[in-house]
Amino acid sequence: MVDRRNHHLFQPLLYQVATASLATSEIAWPIRYLLRGRAEVTTLFATVSGVDVQARRVLFDDGDSLAYDTLLLATGARHAYFGHDEWEPFAPGLKTLEDATTLRRRILVAFERAERETDPQRRAALMTFVIVGAGPTGVELAGTIAELAQDTLPPDFRNIDTHKARVVLIEAGPRVLAGFPDDLSAYAQRSLESIGVEVMLNQAVTECSADGVVHAGQSLQARTLIWAAGCAPPPPPNGSMRQPTGPAASRCCPISRYQAIPRSSPSATPSLSPARMATRSPALHRRPSSRDAMSPIASRRAWPARRSARSATGTPAAWRRSASGWR
């Protein structure tokens, strides 16, 4: 196993790190620790820059390489700005631990600056939080930020009323959680609105800046923007790929997007159509249930029980055994 990071990250809980509900150590574990009991697995800390298909070698950015018989690429994803990458400094996404800690700092510092701000308009902008995209990440972030402002922070501030914080969820589509059944989508929207989240549907964002966002032709002043509207393949390491030259150039397949690495004889590997993939993975099409630990509609009341289970057992390994559904 080759990875440019030395830890495994459980991404579904990144939003809880971003909202100060969990520490980073709660959702990330060393890869070597997780695989220490598998003597047949070797873990390498390296950054992959390309693949030499004919020579069957994975190329590293430091000039080294690794031979393979079968290659599986699982490089993850990054957030997509649909051609507006200049928005990223103003509206960061949430895919890595660094993203989560950046958002956590922005959210908490916004309240701290609002505490000292005397101008009502600037204070209102500091206490306005905009999430672009109403998929699972956007819905989770909006709900948790609202709970943070409504339940956690009020006793800690003297000059501001955190209950007045605005949490705005903007979605270009007609409903939240578009990938879920209509009834669950409607239930999620009602739940968000019941805790004060402003849900704006059918409104595409056309501009993000340090002052706020423009959506449906209207400007909204906000100092904290969060992007949860799309995913894309990760960028090449350091922004560029090391391209081989000469005869090796025709054999190298740079990893710049999701792609399959062919065998020496392409005809030896039959293609798998989307229809066949669906029949091979029926569990992917199962209706989500409130009993699913990782379902977006699962009750948040289950989290304290799992966290206390970990503290009672004392070790991450024991905690994972007590919550086997997390594997």
- Among 100, 307, 302, 300, residue whose Cα is nearest residue 191: 300
Angle, helices 136-147/182-194, rounded to nearest 10 degrees: 20
Residue of 88, 98, 112, 140 marked active site:
140
Helices marked H in 195-241 — which ranges?
A: none
Give CA–CA dist 299/293, Å, rounded.
9
Cβ contacts of 274 within 8 Å, gap of 6 or more: none
What is the four-CA torsion angle of 122, 128, 132, 138, rounded to 10 degrees?
150
- Among 239, 236, 241, residue whose Cα is nearest residue 252: 241
Asked if 140 is an active-site residue, the reply is yes
Give CA–CA dist 235/241, Å, rounded.
9
CB 77 within 8 A of CB 231: yes
Give CA–CA dist 150/310, Å, rounded.
27
Give CA–CA dist 181/132, Å, rounded.
21
Give CA–CA dist 18/6, Å, rounded.
21
Q: Can you name the residues that pair with 166 across neighbouring β-strands?
A: 128
Give CA–CA dist 158/9, Å, rounded.
37
**Residue 33: count of CB within 10 angstroms of its CB:** 14
Give CA–CA dist 74/322, Å, rounded.
28
- Among 303, 225, 246, residue whose Cα is nearest residue 52: 246
- Among 113, 206, 129, 136, residue whose Cα is nearest residue 169: 129
Instruction: Report, as residue numbers or ranges, the catalytic residues.
Output: 140
